[in-house]
Structure 1
């Protein structure tokens, strides 16, 4: 049955079969524009939006996404290098539920999620709804997804995860996305009763991660997803041409028990490591108010461990540029603020936000054992942060000046110390 639905979905979408010739990858000149992402997928031209109908089939990752009122299509052998195909159809989320031997469709209905089932993909019946009284309801719910994940790597302890994006409102400050962990019996999704109903669990604490969808039938039992790097506060305002917007990197998903609570965790897919150049390691050192590191680049991968010590604030700055006097004039910063109970902060208030909109996001957070662990992906116009092995993630768009390539550390209000930092330059997927 799985093979049948893959053929059906791809056939309706106009996908070329494995026997048919595909168009050659776009020429290098198309992907050399200022701010063009170099290891994130973006279309040759046009306005990219929500990913939909993601599927892995016959050794290839198929990415469908909304674009200029149509469904666009790209394919990759490794989830890293992409070829754009012809434009395609539009966007249900449907999966085969083996225990009930039926197809299940998840759709958004205002600020709820509706579940429907079918034995044949033709006749559908409504099963149930979820959402009333749970999570954030300040705007329309969009792009739901529903899938099982093992808890702490134990397949015998699988739970179901329902994700949904929430549109523009004062509460979302543009838009956001949330997830719910619970159980699905083929008819009804029930959220974990130990979580208070009004609790909002964000899939990403940055400004620019929306409409994420997961791949069906990914190899080795993995659950991989990717999202639109954008916000409904400024969906098509990026100063880029001839394309607008890009996808996040593909992320492996899991569930982990943190402080007694089961949480969604994310990590960049290991296939991205194929883009790494020679590692640069920065040794242990004290962190002052402005500690410049011997690193430079607009495409970097960084892994760092920082002892927060007695500092009131400590952070890592990327896409940094300075004036003639050495003062920071532009940067994206991610760090920890110990005041008010502790918060993780992502900030592009130093002039690096899209369309002149400097923004900052923060969420409650305390680093385990006083050590802030960061995994950061820096591309030409984005920053993705994975904190504490993916227990928190944050995504932000950024459009730096051509000089915005510096990296530094900062701490105020007390002592902080870098344990270690490793950096890799990342190759372009378009070369």
Structure 2
């Protein structure tokens, strides 16, 4: 379908910039009673001149835009990173009773180097005069520091993406860092550059496993960029994979969830991803803004029926009311809960005959299909088979449940309690008004609270 006369596709529940461009979520942290979300941000609706945007929320659903926290300087553009609350003032950058929020970021210039900025009020940030805290003059891809407290040896650990592997660094003062280990490139599914690492523990059946996230850049083997996860152990110095997966495992079976990282300073693991794919993100038909983030998702590990231990995801905040049976859709923001058994296709459609489909196929694979969902002429890769229709095996036999969150142009599908997820962008020329499910399936429609 054509994008001629395209309409407003801005989501309501998904974070977007007022104008301009966003990509990777950065510096996710709960501090001073608010959720802080920073992001790669460009003032124009295309990649470039990257700052860190800044927004805050009390509920993970409604975001207040603040002024950009970081702007390009003589060291380069502001690439991705993380945030921590220096509660004990280990850095010496705080004041009595006012612990600083520290932002760790990559300065992207002739070389990528790791830098630091700090704030006492959570709004105004000052770049550390001793930057870079980890210099680099040799390595081309050396970026995206994720800093977290080390529960084993004390102090702090930094995970850093370096070409085709992750390096780990340790510090007691958050200013001076020493390398302690590395992981990779074993387990990589392709030759894509590693980006945006994250490492955190999750419990499953009374045992603690560490989960390493690594986002793999676009490559000819797998087409678009994706985020892979590994499980294993962390000894305080480095991560070791337990090798439980026989093939690469991704956090999303769709291609519109990339560069996801988790919030700091929470008692649960909550992830936000970039809801787009860098292969075609610059051509999305959204006008004055470009791109959005996923809904925040709470992560867990689950011992599944047929797949062993797997990562599971669910929305971290509930935006919808009780579901009611029906086929009419209540506007352009809604949730569907669909239950069934065996092969089944669920179809969202509009009066122009455009249709987004999802369900379970005859091979017991969950699938999402946007091949007829709306406009695709703005980019050939967006329309390509590899990104338009994806399917992955379920980890359960028999009955299934699917929850779809639809928000204007973003589809987030959670299958079997989130043990499979699909994130896809769609651009129907008119709103979907009707849902239909195959025989035997039951559909509940949820409107906003």
Q: CA deviation at 1:385?
A: 0.3
* Contact map agreement 1:336 1:343 (CA 8 A) in 2: yes
Q: Secondary structure at the match of 2:10?
A: coil
Q: CA deviation at 1:296?
A: 4.5
* Contact map agreement 1:52 1:93 (CA 8 A) in 2: no
Q: Secondary structure at the match of 1:99?
A: coil
Q: Secondary structure at the match of 1:86?
A: strand
Partner Cα distance (1:361, 1:116) in 2: 40
Partner of 2:294 in structure 1? 248
Partner of 1:302 in structure 2? 336
Stretches of structure 2 that go unaligned for 5 or more consecutive residues are 1-6, 43-49, 71-77, 82-144
Bigger RCO of structures 1 and 2 (CA < 8 A, at least 6 apart):
1
Query: Are 1:425 and 2:447 matched, yes or no?
Result: yes
Where in structure 2 are the equivalents of 1:7-406 lying within 5 Å?
34-68=8-42, 69-89=50-70, 90=78, 91=81, 92-152=145-205, 154=206, 157-196=207-246, 199-218=247-266, 221-258=267-304, 259=306, 261-269=308-316, 271-272=317-318, 275-277=319-321, 279-282=323-326, 293-308=327-342, 311=343, 314-318=344-348, 320-323=349-352, 329-339=353-363, 342-352=364-374, 354=376, 355-356=378-379, 357-358=382-383, 359-366=387-394, 368-406=396-434
Give the stretch that moved more between structures: 128-137 or 74-83.
128-137
Partner Cα distance (2:365, 2:271) in 1: 26
Stretches of structure 1 that go unaligned for 5 or more consecutive residues are 1-32, 283-292, 324-328, 411-415
CA distances 1:22-70 after superposition (whole Å, capped 9, x unpaired) = xxxxxxxxxxx71110111111111010001111112210001101111
Q: CA deviation at 1:207?
A: 1.4
Q: RMSD in angstroms over aligned alpha carbons?
A: 1.9
* Contact map agreement 2:302 2:309 (CA 8 A) in 1: yes
- The 3 A distance-change label for structure 1 pair 399 and 236 is same
Q: CA deviation at 1:260?
A: 6.0
TM-score (norm 1): 0.79
Q: CA deviation at 1:107?
A: 1.1
Partner Cα distance (1:166, 1:353) in 2: 27
More helix by share: 1
Partner Cα distance (1:177, 1:361) in 2: 18
* Contact map agreement 1:225 1:251 (CA 8 A) in 2: yes
Partner Cα distance (2:331, 2:249) in 1: 33
TM-score (norm 2): 0.76
Partner Cα distance (2:16, 2:417) in 1: 26
Q: CA deviation at 1:351?
A: 4.5
* Contact map agreement 1:297 1:406 (CA 8 A) in 2: no
CA distances 1:134-182 after superposition (whole Å, capped 9, x unpaired) = 1313311111100111114x4xx11100001111123332211100011
Q: CA deviation at 1:238?
A: 1.2
CA distances 1:201-255 after superposition (whole Å, capped 9, x unpaired) = 010011100000100112xx21101100010111221111211111100000001
Partner Cα distance (2:171, 2:254) in 1: 37
- The 3 A distance-change label for structure 1 pair 42 and 260 is closer
- The 3 A distance-change label for structure 1 pair 184 and 278 is closer
Q: Secondary structure at the match of 1:368?
A: coil
Q: CA deviation at 1:423?
A: 1.3
Q: CA deviation at 1:389?
A: 0.1
Q: Secondary structure at the match of 2:279?
A: coil
